[in-house]
Structure 1
Amino acid sequence: MPDRMNVESFNLDHRTVAAPYVRLADTKVLPAGDVIEKYDVRFTQPNVAHLEMPTVHSLEHLVAEHSRNHTDRVVDFSPMGCQTGFYLTLAGRWEYDDVLDLVEATLRDVLDADEVPAANEVQCGWGANHTLTGAQDAARAFLAQRAHWSTVTA
């Protein structure tokens, strides 16, 4: 195995993290000088627990839609293939506490939602693969640990 891999998360020892947490995973300065920050929003403990796919899918839709009500600087909210969390990609440089506030406000929106946005076969590639209840349960559990989001390792 190489000393350093090209993908940042492959260099993270997943045995040492303590989910849930939010951590700055990467910062890129683009050729024109624009800055992109990518945050690891980890819901479950790697290799111990995971989110079911309908929950992941619904959280992806809900957070992608509702986060943009709080800022126009969301580039993407994408699920991790391991089903333990998401990457939140933001334009510009952010204060860490502002990112936590954005995540909290958005997850509170998830709790207030009465449907998963675009959960239909016109707007989604697998419109039947959703669970509002599952997404809300995951959001509730994540919010309950708000005081610990900045602690990445045990």
Structure 2
Amino acid sequence: MAEVESFTLDHTKVKAPYVRLIAEEKGPKGDVIANFDLRLLQPNEKEMPTSGMHTLEHLFADLMRDRLDGIIDVSPFGCRTGFHLITWGSHSATEVAKVLTDVLTVIANETKWEDVQGVSIESCGNYRDHSLFTAKEYAKLVLEQGISDDPFERHVVK
């Protein structure tokens, strides 16, 4: 049986919100792919409603790509406490935390419904399950706490 890193992480020891580098892997040609844990909510204490999570996913897909090179994908965790960020190349947790802080600030303070891409029946597999209001409220909640670049010690990135 394969060992899945996220299932070996002691979720009772982490202190969200944080950014954590899960792993970097090198491909056969030397390309590096990095996987980050963007944990917005404390595991097993809170979870985000799917509508807000879905809208954040769409906004992250757009806004994070404008601010961080090499993004392959931003995908929500099934537990609804955060997202995976997959990138080409190496980035530090601090760099990603700064980008995430900037993006959440834009979402909380500037984003309007017209800014959310891919929310029509033609462009989304569940277009009825979105909430910009919820995405904004959770963005504010995370920003109030600050985003750490360490999952176990609160080291809030400015």
Normalised TM-score (structure 1): 0.90
TM-superposed deviation, 1:108: 2.1
Aligned AA for 2:145?
Q
1:86 correspondence with 2:83: yes
Q: Give the count of matched residue pairs.
A: 150
3-state secondary structure, aligned to 1:94: coil
Match of 1:113 among 111, 114, 120: 111
Q: Which runs of 4+ in 1 moved over 3 A?
A: none
1:51 correspondence with 2:64: no
3-state secondary structure, aligned to 1:22: strand
The answer (yes or no) to whether the contact 2:47–2:80 under 8 Å persists in 1 is yes
Partner residue in 2 for 1:140: 140
Mean Cα displacement is larger for which, 44-53 or 69-78? 69-78
CA distance in 1, matches of 2:31, 2:150: 28
Superposed CA offset, 1:75-105 (max 9, x none):
1100000111101112111133221221122
Give percent identity, aligned residues only: 35
The unaligned stretches of length 5 or more in structure 1 are none
Q: CA RMSD in A?
A: 1.6
The answer (yes or no) to whether the contact 1:63–1:110 under 8 Å persists in 2 is no
CA distance in 2, matches of 1:83, 1:95: 24
Structure-to-structure mapping, 1:86-105, within 5 angstroms: 86-105=83-102
3-state secondary structure, aligned to 1:144: helix
TM-superposed deviation, 1:61: 0.4
TM-superposed deviation, 1:72: 3.5
1:150 correspondence with 2:149: yes
